[in-house]
Structure 1
Amino acid sequence: MLSSEILSYLPGDFNEISKFWNKLGLGGAERGDDEQVIERTINHGGAFFVMRVGNRLIGTAWITSDHRRLYLHHMGIHPEYQNQQLGYKLLEHCIQWSEKQGLQLKLEVHQSNKGAVHLYKKAGFKRLGDYDVYIIRDYKELPAK
């Protein structure tokens, strides 16, 4: 396996992470993903991990907490580094961290993302069933009452 390291998020990492997410289609301003949100979620019991090969950012994993359950977001590996067990290594790191917190770990993945689905199942995640996921991203767009 390629030599890599997993580090905790540091203030100042965000610009590089934002570019990485945009390249992989993992996040963006429309989702409310910014430095302040990351730091707030870390301060409220979450974690953010950055995977690097040398100085190059090749992966991210963001864990948030509602103090009942942990949620894994924006887990991704740069396409040039996929299929080298690095995603599994980053996911194992997240699972070990989560286990120490004593809370369940939940994630959402699009069913068409076969590689990610395979990775999550391999790591022991179980499908919850036929749930639809709904969200309000912009309260200004709510229908008039």
Structure 2
Amino acid sequence: MIIRPMTIDDYDEVFAMWQITTKRALSKADERSQIERYLRRNEGMSQVAVIDGKIVGTVLAGHDGRRGFIHHMAVMPEYRRRHIGHRLAEKAIENIAADGIDKTHIFCYQNNETGQKFWRDFGFVKRDDVFVYSYENASRKE
């Protein structure tokens, strides 16, 4: 297995994987142009895992200058339980830390028990002291 930085050339294959693994979390922010901007802004942070020329896992990662964020961490179902996700998460956190960021956050749906277990086992701590509020800019709505 090779873990390497994700590029926009990987987009079609990665997006197809997200359709299987994280479809409920996809939004306009995951369109090609938005991902291309994210990858440019956070160059080298996001990773893909490749086996026999096929992308089998991905992690979209970056930071805002203060805190790191992991988005769309996904491994194809038939490749799970092989530590691919763990290695992708390690690489993402390592890259974020190399930029001087000491804390990384992950958003995990409440009904995603598998994801919650993964992140707890990895060492992430669930916070009960904050809520996430979202605002959609009216000029971006269709």
Instruction: Name the TM-score, length of structure 1 as normaliser.
Output: 0.82
Matched, 1:22 2:10: no
State yes or no: 1:54 paired with 2:52: yes
TM-score normalised per structure 2: 0.83
1:52–1:59 CA contact under 8 A, matched in 2: yes
Kindly report which structure 2 residues correspond to 1:125-140, keeping only aligned pairs within 5 A, or say none. 125-137=124-136, 139=138
Give the aligned residue type for 1:105. Answer: T
Aligned to 1:83: 81
SS in 2 for 1:99: helix
Identity %: 23
**Contact 1:5 / 1:53 at 8 angstroms: preserved in 2?**
yes
Question: 1:7-54 deviations in whole A, cap 9, x for unaligned?
Answer: 1112321111111111113454x3321232223223323522111111
Q: Distance in 2 between matches of 1:43 and 1:115?
A: 30
- How far 1:136 moved relative to its partner? 2.9
| One-letter amino acid matched to 2:29 | G
- The structure that has the greater radius of gyration is 1
Task: Give the Cα separation in 1 of the matches to 2:140 and 2:16.
Answer: 27
Q: Which consecutive unaligned segments of at least 5 residues does structure 2 have?
A: none
Cα shift at 1:138: 5.7
Query: Aligned letter for 2:104?
Result: L
Distance across 1 between alignment mates of 2:12 and 2:71 = 18
- Residues 70-112 of structure 1, C-alpha deviations (whole Å, 9 max, x = no match): 1100001111011222111111111211221221211110122
- Provide the C-alpha distance between the structure 2 equivalents of 1:111 and 1:100, rounded to a whole number of angstroms: 30
In the superposition, relative to structure 1, how do residues 10 and 42 fare at CA in structure 2: closer, same or farther (>3 Å)? closer
Q: Counterparts of 1:141 and 1:7 in 2: how far apart (Å)?
A: 32
The structure-2 alpha-carbon separation of the partners of 1:141 and 1:9, relative to structure 1 and needing over 3 Å to count, comes to: closer
Give the ranges of 4+ consecutive aligned residues of structure 1 lying more than 6 Å apart after TM superposition: none
Does the Cα contact within 8 Å between 1:14 and 1:34 map onto a contact in 2?
Answer: no
Aligned residue pair count: 138
